[in-house]
Structure 1
């Protein structure tokens, strides 16, 4: 009987204790629920003040992406400080609105919204800014001769423009030697080589030599000549060139003496009439030399470069294959070759290109 009463007392005490524990748990849960709501309200207030409106659907707006990092960290710290369960394992019930707000605060930023760090691809083509290259100025090569009346500075541009127009009439057919039955290219080369020596002995002007060769080629391209008359053609062409270019002209007797008296005075005069009538008295055509002087002046060539260019252009006189090129092109090529040889590198300034009307590619 006593034992039964004791057992009842123990059971009642245990039941009372359990009920007290449950009541305490409920009170603790309600307090934690109120505390969590207060904390979430503080967080929501801070976040709203910092970033604007919270999207309850969990979608992060642009303002969410731009949220400062310290707000996110503070929110995480406050969230982790609030337990989700009580000490007795009882879950705390939070309404749907609080869960959505908690999910919004605890949701990590999607990778697509973050600005990824990408290393520069070394193979990626980088667009470079256009580098402005200053064009080489064209020099006024006639400025130094402004006070020289013999230089004809006022008319020099018009003169060379006229030369470039008329130089095509100075050219002869490349295959004209095929029309000569008794002559060949080698004989022409021997004649011109001999005339260069005669020109040097008489100390004649360089213009005379180039005009002499031009008269020979133009005459041979229009009239067939026997081999024994070829030297006479050369002497008469030299005589006509001297009459056109020189101040002091060699007499006919001197030319007969140079030919070792192979021709008479009358032979020289008769060939002179024949040549002038064949050429229709047209001896005023531009040759390589006027262009050579002009292009050397444009290149500001020194004495060494000038002598080398003159030597090259004289070698071109002997070669029959050079007849296919215009005089201005031959002169420009001689100056360009001399510059490259003396300087050791390619050089063709914009001033040379302007006055010669030939680019470096054309000369090459």
Structure 2
């Protein structure tokens, strides 16, 4: 009787792991489908545990159990293939910078979703003082955070400050000169994004984008249509850039989702985490439920000096820090993603769906 109960539990967990792996393959943008884009590593672990226990404890001769074990094995292999690029076993998409690279070629960024209601401002102050990034990007920042970080941001003469009380505030600070700062509300009137150009110490101008679209959750947006469209719209804007490019922010999407892959293919930007690690930034509070939501992508003009996830600042996100080296003479060492005609059509469809959904939402509010 005890073994029967254990078998039923195993069957339930195994079925969940299998279905949760299959669901993200659907084209549906409903939140209850897209949410399973996130826990890839967790599903991989669950499938392995279920498979081992199933071999040990489950009946061996029933057809349904054999089919379940086969499906579990396929799930494990599928998840492993998708996890592999973020392990140290995989080749690095972005090469390491030359050790002899000069500081004038370096560009450092610290990105932090601060959690608007977080009152532990000193923790982030300490990290900024320690790492002294050239560029500091804050997300979910309001007027309280703006004031609290004055002791460090006073040393950043170039800035774009958008304090909001809706958890979509954004503050961009730089030690390096800005030009053509532009704040856009692409699909949501209360969700900003920033585009500007920053002048590196060697005189090179870099196109910089800061983003934070709404997540597909019932309390924010029941579908991922606007999030996906905003991400791809930014990719389209970048695709025709004549400048080196850096994009940073909380995408509210994981690095391995189809939307983020589409973003990379359309924009031709590289992911410095590939071959280096997951750098899971969310959720601080649950170590067994963490995935990479905060991203820094860049064009193939750069190589990596260092990248690290920083310590807890009292938010539900860990900050992330990166130092890049501008090395355009070696850019062809790194293969950039490319979008074929089918990918471009998929991008067109996502943008159109997002615009339609935004128009319907705005019509309801009027």
Classify the TM-score, shorter chain: under 0.3
Q: Where is the strand percentage greater, Structure 1 or Structure 2?
A: 2
Higher relative contact order (CA 8 A, sep 6+): 2
TM-score by length of 1: 0.20
TM-score by length of 2: 0.20
Q: Where is the helix percentage greater, Structure 1 or Structure 2?
A: 1
Structure with higher Rg: it is 1
